[in-house]
Structure 1
């Protein structure tokens, strides 16, 4: 499992969340909504400190990660994070690793 952050998504994190060098952003399984992987669960994200990260990636010295306890949600898929230009919000897609 890997995390891919597009340049547009990185810019979104910097502008909308004011993310800067040294920050850490976690993607996690959230109860509610739906996703292509699980009905009743969706993906959430927040600035957080890693405890037991399952996967990490650094872009422009900002670390993005998924905790081991949330790895089940991704079911062996890589996470792709981009921006929906019409809605100006993050868009997630998943591809089998």
Structure 2
């Protein structure tokens, strides 16, 4: 089932730091592809995180298997992150399947 596309500024929730409403996907993402006037997020793009060291970031772990942006799978609401979280918001006018 298609899910809303993820972009810079959309939130993700991490079980290591359950701070509502979560923390945002951070730049650069794909600046040449805009979704709702913001750069598109893809697998391997980063989210802000205040979890345990060494990194203050969390990576998007999975994306669409059928939609690619800049040769990487497009990220969507609900896609998981490396530290066990998930993207919780997205652009509801752009739905990405796969």
TM-score (norm 2): 0.30
Bigger helix share: 1
Greater C-alpha radius of gyration: 1
Bigger strand share: 1
TM-score (norm 1): 0.30
